[in-house]
Amino acid sequence: MRRLLTIGIVIGGLAALAAAASAREVLDVARQYDNGGGYHWTAGNSGTPIELRFENRVLLPRGKGSFCCGYTLAIAFEVAEERGLLAGKTFDEIRAFQKDWYGDGPDSRETLIVKAVERLGIGRQVAHPDAMPGDFVQLWRTSGSGHSVVLLDWVREDGKIVGLKYRSSQKSTDGIGDRVEYFSDSPGHDGKVVRDRTYLCRLFKNALEPSMQEAQQLALAGEYSRAEEILAAAAADSSAADATAAAIELERIRRARHEFGLNGDELLAQIQKQIPDATLADMARWRDAGDLQHRTIDGQISYFRRAASNLFRFNADAKRRSNPQAAAGRFDQTGLIAELVDLAEASAAPAVYPVRHKVKYTLTIKPGNPLAKPGAKVRVWLPYPQEYQQQQQVKLLSSSPGHQKIAANGHPHRTIYFEQVVQDEAAPLAFSAEYEYVVSAWAPMPSADEVQSYDKAGELYREFTAERLPHIALDDATRDLAAKIVGDEPNPLLRAKKIFRWVSANIPWCAEIEYCLIDSLAKKGIAAGRGDCGVQGMVFITLCRAAGVPARWQSGWQTKPGEENMHDWAEFYVEPWGWLPADASHGVRRHDDPRVQDFLCGGLDPYRMIVNLDFARELDPPKSSYRSEPNDFQRGEVEIDGHNLYFDQWKWDFEVTADPRE
């Protein structure tokens, strides 16, 4: 394969985003080069499989055969050019980049590729746990020899990284080809690769990514205003759909300001409703103890809008001094579960205690929205119940406006969708759906003695024990935690129960910030030791997968009389029952009967509305803007002419009646 690569196309400013959208990935380019072709590590040979040119000047001639640095450099050049990363660079800068890549530049002999991309400003170093296929790697062996490669994947054994599979040019494949090598500290493989001298780097996605990273670092440091200035310069035209990376980051900062929108005096006023003599000094002490969620934004301490309620859950001093209102008439879930256990033991079917639900869901856009002008198209998605296992007889009773589309049953997020063109900007914009369904308790009462083996080569097992970043991260720390929890227990049902009990005991519920502001739900829950139902559920799912038990997301609403609210839970898979529910948030019940205690690990009460069978999937029809909730779907979603309307721009109302059937 003979090709000529010319570099130096000027792609400036926001046009780089379009280049990134069409650019091929590193692995695609790496696979374009045929296997073999001869390996020639000889003096004077460029080692590149093609001629490299920049600004109509030859940087490197095509080599005789290839060697590692030449092959990986050719790939990096082509990808960088397509992503607009080389725009504005000089020939001398590109020559210095090439020398660094080969280890001939100043201070580049050890890390080579990392020094090259960082010095030119087109990429960054990547830590081993964050590595992805398509990253570039410079490895060193115990013999002192080195190798420049493209990572295909880590090689793992029992969840541990023991080696790497890569593509490069080497003598063993007579040129270009795939190869596996092992780390020298991995027993049983006679590996030669030195783990601590294996360096990885990743090219930026587009020319704006360095600015994006700077803005993100500023935001992490609490310098929101400076970050907003950088992002505003990079964001697309405000008249376009707000789905570009810069626009999304700007929106995330706006949402963070909303979540952390209380100053000290405002929060103190909330706390004083339960502790009249509370002072700012008390708040500082509680804040230092980690029990008042806050961020420093532009030099000012700003508190989470639900910080007061969390304070009384976790701070012993605040709980002791408070005068809370007694919770009256709470639904007796544990008593119901005890009844369900008795019904299940007497039933041949897993579905017992059917409850008919009737729901009216209404979403109203707040008046005066500047986007709601005559001729504007309003698109609205409302939650709609699945027909799934214990939830059946779903029927739409009415909707307004009358024209709507219901997503197919089984879609990951089941919705009822509306479109409306604004005629009169003074007229209210309200959308509603009324429907009914019957949901039964699911009580198969699984027994460890009846568990059957997994088909570990099957698609289901492989999909639902796999990592799904960023929220399901199966790194070494997570796998170690799962192994510690389950110990040497071989039975998957009992492994899931051990994880269920661990989450119930170690991740207590708290009011949570919006999920769009949490980089990884499971990692957050494990690190903080607290979280709401979605965080608790994702911790359960992640630990199950790490322990070899297939698990997945499920969510919608809980409909317990007087306690109707959004709710997330999970499912795990065990043969012969298939998918079993698990609600780690409601957790282990306080009861003398072990069947009642662990009922919610394998069973579920009937006061639910199942809407979502997965998380972070596309809506039907797809939404063009950045979703208010990109992971879950419960309250609904709204956009006008391609612009998202966040939760603070509309109201929702969930009216439900739940009547047990005789």
pLDDT digits (tens, 9 = 90+) for 370-390: 999 999 999 999 999 999 999
What is the C-alpha to C-alpha distance for residues 137 and 114, in angstroms, rounded to an integer? 8
The closest of 306, 209, 200, 216 to 261, measured between CA atoms, is 306
Q: Nearest CA to 620 among 450, 365, 416? A: 416
Angle at 494 between CA 490 and CA 496, to 5 degrees: 105
- CA distances, 571 to each of 361, 474, 475 (Å): 26, 18, 22
pLDDT of 21 over the 50 cut = no
Which of residues 237 and 393 earns the better pLDDT score? 393
Q: pLDDT category, 323, cuts 50, 70, 90?
A: confident
H helices of 41-179, in order, are 68-82, 91-102, 113-120
Cα–Cα dist 15/296, whole Å: 34
Token digits of residue 489 = 């227990």
Nearest C-alpha neighbor of 268 from the set 289, 242, 249, 287: 287
205-231: per-residue pLDDT in tens? 888 888 888 999 999 999 999 999 999
pLDDT in tens, 476-513: 999 999 999 999 999 999 999 999 999 999 999 999 99
What one-letter code names the amino acid at 557?
Answer: W
Report the distance separating Cα 558 and Cα 555, nearest Å.
9
What is the three-state SS of 46-63? CCCCCEEEECCEEEECCC
Better-scored residue on pLDDT, 285 or 14 = 285
In 3-state terms, the chain is what percent helix, strand and coil (to 5)? 30, 25, 40
Q: From CA 180, how far away is CA 153, in angstroms rounded? A: 10
CA distances from 390 to 160, 437, 544 (A): 39, 11, 23
What pLDDT, on the 0 to 100 scale, is given for residue 91?
97
- Residue 290: band (very low, low, confident or very high) from pLDDT cuts 50, 70, 90: very high
Q: Is there a contact between 521 and 622 (Cβ–Cβ < 8 Å)?
A: no
Residue 275 to residue 271: CA distance in whole angstroms = 6
- The pLDDT value recorded for residue 236 is 63
Say what the pTM is: 0.82
Report yes or no: 486 and 159 within 8 Å, Cβ to Cβ: no
pLDDT given for residue 193 in this prediction:
98
Contact 569, 582 (CB under 8 A): yes
Q: Tokens 């009773």 map to which residue?
A: 397
Reduced to 3 states (helix: H, G, I; strand: E, B; else coil), residue 389 is coil
Measure the CA–CA gap between 305 and 263, rounded to whole angstroms: 10
| Angle, alpha carbons 212-84-74 (nearest 5°) | 120
Summarised one tens digit per residue, pLDDT across range 507-529 is 999 999 999 999 999 999 999 99
Residue 259 has pLDDT above 60, yes or no: yes
556, 471 contact by CB (below 8 A)? no
Q: What letter does residue 612 receive in the DSSP assignment?
A: E
> What is the mean predicted confidence (pLDDT) over 295-308?
98
Which are the contacts of 260, defined by CB distance < 8 A and separation ≥ 6?
Answer: 293, 294, 295, 297, 302, 303, 304, 305
- CA nearest neighbour of 644 among 232, 241, 233: 241
Return the pLDDT at 10: 25
pLDDT of residue 114 exceeding 50: yes
5 membership: H or E segment, kind and range: strand 4-7
Residue closest to 25 by CA, chosen among 68, 75, 62: 75
- Taking residues 101-124, what's their average pLDDT? 94
Q: How many CA atoms lie within 13 A of 502 on its CB side?
A: 21
Q: Is the pLDDT of residue 12 over 80?
A: no
Structure confidence by residue, pLDDT tens digits, 425-476: 999 999 999 999 999 999 999 999 999 999 999 999 999 999 999 999 999 9
Q: Per-residue pLDDT for 617 more than 80?
A: yes
What is the spatial distance between Cα 160 and Cα 149, in angstroms, rounded to a whole number? Answer: 21
Low-confidence winner among 32-36, 238-242, 331-335 (lowest mean pLDDT): 238-242
pLDDT at residue 1 in the model: 30
Nearest to 66 by CA among 89, 93, 33: 33
**275 is written with which tokens?**
């502790």
Q: How far apart are CA 155 and CA 165, in angstroms?
A: 7
E strands in 114-159: 123-126, 136-140, 146-157
Distance between CA atoms of residues 260 and 172, nearest Å: 57
What amino acid is encoded at 412 in this protein?
A: P
Segment 229-257, tens digit of pLDDT: 999 988 865 555 667 888 899 999 999 99
Residue 45's region, left for phi above 0, alpha for psi from -120 to 50, else beta, is beta
Instruction: Give me the domains of the chain, ranges plus CATH numbers.
Output: 4-203 (no CATH), 209-320 (no CATH), 333-442+615-660 (no CATH), 448-603 (3.10.620.30)
Give the separation between CA 525 and CA 585, rounded to whole angstroms: 12
Which of these, 516, 366, 389, lies nearest to 441 by C-alpha position?
Answer: 389
Q: d(Cα 60, Cα 16) in Å, to the nearest integer?
A: 26
Query: For 52-70, how does the pLDDT look when each residue is reduced to its tens digit (9 = 90+)?
Result: 999 999 999 999 999 999 9
Beta bridge partners of residue 658, listed in sequence order: 357
